[in-house]
């Protein structure tokens, strides 16, 4: 009996230690950059032009009514504005976008320019999922070079029952792209944790190694970026919660 209790204590200590190490990484190494949350009226007019239906810049015919979040911050590149949108089409056919997620980064240091775009969609004739995670974006400077990394976690799916979704986290530093992709996890509504870790209920992912290795980063920096993506995945992996009967 004493031996069993000791083993359990060691196991609990091990889990606690792993969680502590994980929390330590998140707190100490992400170097989160403070951002301002803005209203549409606070966007520079040169950025607003991208969402005016009469503008030739608005190729996707987006409206400011589609905007989910607007953030701004300053870094070594100047003043930046992140605009995130979501759009649904109830009349979509099987091969046209039923749900879309779109993120745009603008830099207005000298002249307004769109630095990058994230655009994803899927056709669906059931219940379409096309939404951002609770934190629509995470802005950091994990390699301390003065240029912000912007990480965007989101889910897309077509559900006819309780099932997990496709999940992606796209991260940019300047125009350099990084990504981690896989399936979101079905989580227990009581614990807030994945139902299991076998992959049957989702939760599996894969880092895009080609994008990572292509980046002009040292080996140690690539490791830090990889751990950052994994940490973001763990923080946002639950896209649906399942309530078990007592």
Q: Choose among 184, 225, 223, 188: nearest CA to 205.
A: 184
Could you tell me the maximum CA-CA distance found in the chain, to the nearest angstrom?
76
Structure-token match 């759009």, residue found: 87
Q: What is the pLDDT of residues 99-158, one digit of tens each?
A: 999 999 999 988 999 999 999 999 988 889 999 999 999 999 999 999 999 999 999 999
In the chain, % of residues over pLDDT 70: 85
* Average confidence (pLDDT) over 194-205: 82
Residue 132: predicted pLDDT = 97
Contacts made by residues 59-66, CB under 8 angstroms, sequence distance 24+: 60/102, 60/119, 62/87, 62/102, 64/40, 66/102
DSSP string, the chain: -HHHHHHHHHHHHHHHHHHHHHHHHHHHHS-BPP-EE--GGGS-HHHHGGG-TT-TT-TT---GGGEEEEEEEEETTEEEEEEEEEEE-TT--TTS-SEEEEEEEEE-SSS-EEEEEEEEEE--SSEEEEEE-SSS-EEE-TT-SS--EEEEEEEEEEESSS---EEEEEEEETTEEEEEEEE-EEEETTT-SBS-SSSTTB--EEE-HHHHHHSS--HHHHHHHHHHHHHHHHHH-EEEEEPPP-
Task: Indicate the angle between helix axes 219-236 and 2-29, nearest 10 degrees.
Answer: 110
- Which residues make Cβ contacts (< 8 Å) with residue 226, sequence separation at least 6? 207, 212
What is the tens place of the pLDDT at every residue in 222-238? 999 999 999 999 999 98
Inter-residue contact 87 to 119 (CB < 8 Å):
no
39-67 residue pLDDT tens? 999 999 999 999 998 999 999 999 999 99
């Amino acid at each position: 009996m004493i031996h069993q209790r000791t083993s359990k204590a060691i196991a609990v200590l091990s889990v606690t230690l792993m969680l502590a190490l994980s929390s330590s990484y998140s707190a100490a190494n992400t170097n989160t950059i403070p951002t301002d949350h803005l209203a549409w009226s606070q966007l520079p007019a040169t950025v607003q032009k991208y969402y005016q239906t009469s503008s030739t810049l608005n190729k996707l015919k987006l409206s400011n009514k589609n905007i989910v979040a607007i953030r701004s911050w300053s870094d070594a590149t100047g003043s930046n504005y992140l605009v995130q949108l979501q759009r649904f089409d109830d009349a979509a056919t099987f091969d046209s976008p039923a749900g879309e997620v779109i993120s745009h980064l603008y830099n207005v240091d000298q002249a307004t320019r769109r630095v990058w775009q994230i655009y994803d969609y899927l056709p669906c004739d059931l219940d379409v999922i096309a939404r951002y995670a609770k934190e629509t974006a995470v802005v950091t400077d994990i390699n301390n070079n003065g240029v912000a990394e912007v990480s965007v976690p989101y889910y897309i799916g077509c559900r006819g029952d309780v099932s997990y979704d496709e999940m992606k986290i796209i991260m940019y530093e300047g125009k350099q792209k990084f990504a981690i992709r896989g399936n979101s996890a079905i989580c227990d509504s009581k614990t807030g944790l994945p139902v299991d870790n076998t992959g049957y209920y989702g939760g599996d992912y894969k880092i895009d190694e080609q994008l990572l290795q292509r980046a002009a980063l040292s080996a140690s920096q690539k490791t830090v970026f990889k751990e950052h993506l994994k940490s973001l995945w763990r923080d946002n992996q639950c896209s649906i919660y399942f309530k078990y009967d007592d």
